[in-house]
Structure formats: C-alpha cells, structure tokens
Amino acid sequence: MTNPRQLAFITLRDVHKGAYADVALDRVLQKVSLPDSDRRLLTELVYGSVRRQRTLDTLIDQLAKKKSHQQPPDLRTILHLGFYQLRYQERIPASAAVNTTVQLAKENGFSGLTGFVNGLLRQYLRKAGGTNEQEGRGAEEKDSLLLPQSPIPSSQSPIPHFDPLELPENPVERLGILHSFPDWIVQVWLEQLGLADTEKLCEWMNQSPTIDLRINPLRTSIKEVEAALQSVGVLVRRIPHLPQALRFIGNTGSIQKLPGFKEGWWTVQDASAQLVGHLLDPQPGEVVIDVCAAPGGKTTHIAELMADKGKIWACDRTPSRLRKLQENSKRLNLQSIQICTGDSRHLNQFQNTADRVLLDAPCSGLGTMHRHADARWRQTPASVQELSVLQRELITHTSTFVKPGGVLVYATCTLHPAENEEIISAFLAESPDWQIESDSGVELPDFTDSTPQGWFKLWPHRQDIDGFFMVRLRKNNNSE
C-alpha cells in the first residue's frame, strides 16, 4: 500500500488509541517505500492533524449534527484528514481534498456514510466561499480550484466573515480553539506574555520544525561541513553567536545519509540546547556530571567544549536511552564520557566531586511542542505538578555533587513557571550556600538577555528557536 492518505489514516488511528505520533509514523514508514513527495505529504497530514486536533474537532461539532466525540472513532479520524487539507493545505485543490476523503470513508468501512462526509466537507467550503457550485462550471475548472488558507485573525482584528470556524469571545477559549491548544496551556502563556504575544507563540508552535546541527570542532570545521553539505545540494545557514550551529534550509532527505554524519563531524541539536552547554562553560581537565544525560546531545557537547579532556559522568536511569548516548559518543569519537546507570536522586557516590553539574531536568516540554505534535494533548496541569516534584528532588540532591565554588546549570525545554522560576526560587530559599551567577563572564547571544532575577528564558516566537529556561548557580567557596 502506497497511498499517503490511507497511510496517514492508519497512523492516526494508532495515535488516537494512545501511540506516540512519531513512533506510529515511523512504524508505518518502515513498512513502505514512498517517493519523497508522498513521504512529506504523509508526515504533514499526520503531524498536522494531531496538532490541529481541537480545531478539527470543533469544526465537526459546529457543522455536523453529532459532536466529534459521538462520531465513530475511525470516521472522526477521516474527517480530521479532510478538514485539515481544506483548512491548512493551500496547495491541495479543494476538490482533491474532498474526493480523497470520501474515498477513505468508502475504503475503511463507511460506504454508507460517504454522502455525509461529502456533504460536511462541502458545507465547510460553501461557508468559506471556496467553491462555486453553480451549474455550467466545467469539471476541469472545478478541479483546479484552490481553497485559499483562511487568514488567521489577529487579536485586534475581527474574525474574517469567510472563516467557517465560529469562535467564542473568551480569549483563552478563542486562542485554544483557533490555534488548537488546551485552555490551560494558553492560560499559562497569557499570564506571562499577554494576548498579542501569546497568539504569536501559538502560531509559531504550529509551524513545522526546523532542524539545527552542531558541528564537532574536534573533527572538522564549520566551513568544511558547509562545503560537504553544499556538495550534495543541501543548504544550511549559520546561527549568529553560536560557533558550532548550522540550520538546514529546505528538504534534507535522510539525515543519517548526509556527508559527515557517519564520520562524526556533526550531530543534530537545536540552537537553544547548544546554549545550555555554553552557559555551563566546562573547562578541559574538569569533572562534570550530567545528571539526566540521555540521549546525550548536551553530554557530547560538554565533551567537545572541554576538548575531550577531563571526566564527564553521564547519569540516567534508562539503560536503552544511555545506549543511544554511547552510540553518539562513539560516532563523534569522544573518550571522556563515563556512563552511570541510575536515578540521580539516589546516587550518593558523587558528593562534592564535580566542578560543574548540568541538570537538564525532565519536563513537560512546552517549549518544544512544534517538534512533538501530541505533547499538548499528553501533558496536563497534574502532570506538570508531578514533574515539578521530581525537579525539586533532583536539584536538592544533585546540588550536593558540586564542590565548594563549583557551578550547577539548571535547564528545561518548558515555558511553565512551576517547572522553572518556582523551582529555582524554592531551591535558593532552602539553600543559603547557593546563588544565581548572572555575571559569569560567559558570552551568550544578545537575544539571551538575562532577566532581572538572573535566569534566561528563550521565547520561540521572538528568537525562532525552541523555548528554553536556564539558570547558572554557584556554590559558595566556604560551603561544607
């Protein structure tokens, strides 16, 4: 089977049963051989339909007699695919989106409901002003029609009259339905950013993610990597102030097949994550502990920054993820990394042994939701609360690993104060021998200006990189 829409339906059916979107998609892709264009369409339909799930459900709620949750689950999935193409895929002709969705219904047990599917999607098009169903219009002309993507209303402007999606007045619900986020996430951002910035952040999080790489300066130079990629027609651009960072422009094909990957010249790592290593600023010959290390992006960066001289303990409680770290270390030809399997909250052998500790804490990932299509539906206020307990336990125990005068960097890829500012404030209130070191002498890009409190918060819609929080803490020299 090589029909990308049918494959998208199969993948989404698994996701709606609880599978992770990337795992379900990978499983399907491994079973088939698709041209690049079909592979991209399949990926776009799966991730897009998962991201926009709330908006697509609301369209069903508003246009059908039965609400989305009352529809047969597989039919709901098919309708998601149809509405996603009509609303968000301006390159797909409206007629093609409708016809292929009707065909999906026919082929997946809903032959008796093809009229309903056809009628519902055409009702959307009529409301959007995207079709002209007057008699006498040629079939060929109809097929060439493109439905323009409905303009997204800004926080100031009225909703365009031709957007079939009806939105409530309440700003939290309005943004949640329009951009497809749970209300609680919108609320968390509104409290920090205000309405206009929250809308921009929501829009940014619904974009397809870019891919950044980090060159390995122990094996190559940024110029060599640029030239090698250019030789196979892959374009990259540099990211200002990040000496090892390149960003892919356009389609790359299989990452592992690109020149320099097998040779260990570079690895994939977002620009935000690279900033964490620079803030830690490890020096050759030091002892560094990465307490939540797997799968190893930041660990290997630490080794590169130390010129692979010194000792890095990479700790994690998940052996399978640590194996990935070992594979990456081997590929990058790094010798300074030692593996320690175990929960860092219960490791006692490292007390007062580290010059620097990195606590890249497990978090809700609200800063990287564009990369993880289903993360917004998996996290809840309760899961954030559970994570904040884990984060407090981790920082309380792993801070004891640091020698007097040493440094601890706390970092997350979330934008929730309960996992960031509140963790650090509580830790400092209980730990008089620690303080924030805002003037460390480490040069970070202009866009990472420290807050008055001394921590760094990276907002994706402002800096065009993953959302991150990071802070550098120093232990007093006279600590016991």
Told to judge if 340 belongs to the known catalytic residues of this protein, a careful annotator would answer no
The catalytically annotated residue of 202, 340, 363, 413 is 413
User: Angle of helix 4-16 relative to helix 21-31, nearest 10 degrees?
Assistant: 140
Nearest to 157 by CA among 195, 112, 211: 195
What DSSP character marks residue 139?
H
Q: What DSSP string runs through 89-103?
A: -TTSBHHHHHHHHHH
| Burial annotation 28-62 (CB, 10 A radius, 16+ → b, else e) | bbeeeebeeebbebbbbbbbbbbbbbbbbbbbbbb
Nearest to 183 by CA among 192, 193, 191, 173: 173
- Report in angstroms the alpha-carbon separations of 285 from 333, 355, 401: 18, 10, 17
Q: Encoding tokens for residue 133?
A: 């169903």
Note whether 402 and 459 are within 8 A (CB). Answer: no
Collapsed DSSP state (helix, strand, coil) of residue 357: strand
Phi, psi angle pair for 100, to nearest 5°: -70, -30
Burial of 205 (0-12, 13-18, 19+ CB in 10 A): buried
Q: Encoding tokens for residue 356?
A: 């620097």
What DSSP character marks residue 160?
P
- What are the extents of the domains in the chain? 4-143, 171-205, 212-268, 271-475
Architecture of domain 4-143: Orthogonal Bundle (1.10)
pLDDT for the residue numbered 450: 61
- Which residue type, as a one-letter code, is found at position 95? S
- Report in angstroms the alpha-carbon separations of 454 from 275, 415, 475: 15, 16, 15
Nearest to 361 by CA among 397, 327, 325: 397
- Which residue type, as a one-letter code, is found at position 420? N
Q: What does pLDDT average to in each consecutive run of 10 residues of the chain (480 residues)?
A: 93 96 95 91 96 98 96 97 95 95 96 96 88 36 36 38 88 97 98 96 94 96 96 93 92 88 96 94 97 95 97 94 94 96 94 97 96 95 97 97 97 97 97 88 64 87 93 85
Q: Encoding tokens for residue 99?
A: 């016809």
pLDDT tens per residue, range 3-21: 999 999 999 999 999 999 9
**Chain centre to alpha carbon of residue 13:** 22
Quick one: three-class SS letters along 426-442? HHHHHCCCEEECCCCCC
CATH number of 212-268: 3.30.70.1170
pLDDT for the residue numbered 134: 35
Collapsed DSSP state (helix, strand, coil) of residue 368: coil
The CA distance from 448 to 436, in Å, is 16
Class of domain 271-475: alpha beta
Residue bearing tokens 């329009």: 178
pLDDT tens per residue, range 52-67: 999 999 999 999 999 9
pLDDT for the residue numbered 449: 55
Note whether 36 and 251 are within 8 A (CB). Answer: yes
